[in-house]
A and B are shown apart, each in its own frame.
Chain A
Amino acid sequence: MSGNALGEQMSCSEFVELVTDYLEGRMAGAEAEVFEAHMGLCPPCLHYLDQMRATLEALGRIPEESLPDGARETILHAFAERHPA
C-alpha cells in the first residue's frame, strides 16, 4: 500500500486523539505506521503534533516551586521535637 493510501486510512479528528499515545510510545506498530503516514500527507496534523510538542516544552520550562525557608525550618524543627536526641 502506498504511503498516501495508508495515511488516508486515518482522519485528522482521529489523529488528534492519538497524539498522546504516540508521544508516550504506547502505539502498536501497525497503528503507528498509519499515524506517521497520515502525518506525512497532512501538514496541518504535523503542525498539530509540533504544537503539542511546543506545549510540553513550555510546560517543562515553568520554574520549579519551592517551599520558603521559614516553612521548611518549621517542618524540620517539628521532626526534631518529636525525636529528641
Chain B
Amino acid sequence: MEGSRTEDAELVEALRAGDQAAFTALVDELSPALMRMALAHVPSRAIAEEVVQDTWLAVINGIDRFEGRSALRTWIFQILLNKARTRGKREKRTLPFSSFGRRAEEGGDEPAVDADRFQGRDGQRPGWWARPPAEWEGVEARIENNEVRDLLLKAIAELPPRQRDVIVLRDLQGYSSEEARNVLDLSETNQRVLLHRARSKVRAALEEHFEADQAVGATV
C-alpha cells in the first residue's frame, strides 16, 4: 500500500494539479480500508460513509497544505481516524477505555488468556493449563457462517480503539506490520503488543462461542 517518498511526492503533485485519474485511483484504493476503519468507531454505515466522505473532502481541501512530514496515506488515515473518533464519541459509541490512558489501551499487563485457566502456585504445574483449550473441529466450515462473522465484528468493536485500529488494518485489510505502523504512527513494539492483545481477545470470543455451540450440541 505504502508509496515510497518519491512516488508520494509525484502523487501529491498530481493531486495538486487536479489529475482526476490519480485521485480516482487513490479513492478506490483506500476507501474500503477507510470504511472498515470508520465502521469500527461509529454505530452505523450511514455515519461511516459520512466520515469517509468528509475525510476525502478534507484531503481535497488540504492537499495544498500537506507538508510531506508523514507519508500521504498515513496523513489520510490520520484525518479519517480523527473524524471517526470524534464522531464515535459524539455518538457515544466509544467505550470508556480512553479514560484509562495509553497503558490500558495497550493492554498493559492484561493476560492473553484469563489467569484462572492456568494452575496457580500451589497447583501441580504452576502456569500450565488448568482448563485447556480444545481442538476446534471442522473449524473451516464453522468460520464461514454469518453468525461467526457478526461475532468477530462485535468482538472488534468492543476492543480499546488503538487495538481495534491495529487488528482492522492487519487482519481484516491485510496490511503489513510496517504499513500499519506507518498509518497509525506506532513503534514496532507497540504495534505488536496492540495486535497481540486484540487477537487474544477475539480468539477468546470465538472460543466462548464455539464452546457454547458445542454445549448446545451436546444436550440435543
Contact = CB atoms under 8 A, between A and B. Distances in A.
The answer to whether A and B assemble together is yes
B206 A67 contact: no
A74 B60 CA distance: 12
A66 B31 contact: yes
Contacts of A20: 192, 195-196, 199-200
A71 B127 contact: no
Contact of B192 (A24, A50, A58, A85): A24
Contacts of A52: 199, 203
A82 B153 contact: no
A65 B36 contact: yes
Interface string B135-146: 110011001100
A53 to B, nearest CB: 9
Given A13-B115, A67-B35, A54 B56 contact: no
A68 to B, nearest CB: 6
B202 to A, nearest CB: 6
Interface residues of B, number: 57
B20 to A, nearest CB: 6
Interface in A40-78: 42, 44-45, 47-48, 50-52, 54-62, 64-68, 71-72, 74-76, 78
A59 B152 contact: yes
B97 interface: no
B143 A61 contact: yes
Contacts of A51: 133, 136, 203, 206-207
Contacts of B149: 58, 61-62
10 pairs of A and B residues whose beta carbons are closest in the complex = A83-B18, A11-B127, A44-B132, A20-B196, A65-B35, A58-B143, A59-B171, A67-B31, A75-B56, A55-B203
Interface of B: 17-18, 20, 23-24, 27-28, 31-32, 34-36, 39, 49, 52-53, 56-57, 60-61, 111-113, 115, 118, 125-129, 132-136, 139-140, 143-144, 148-149, 152-153, 167, 171-172, 174, 177, 192, 195-196, 199-200, 202-203, 206-207
6 contacts: A47-B134, A48-B133, A54-B139, A57-B143, A59-B152, A85-B18
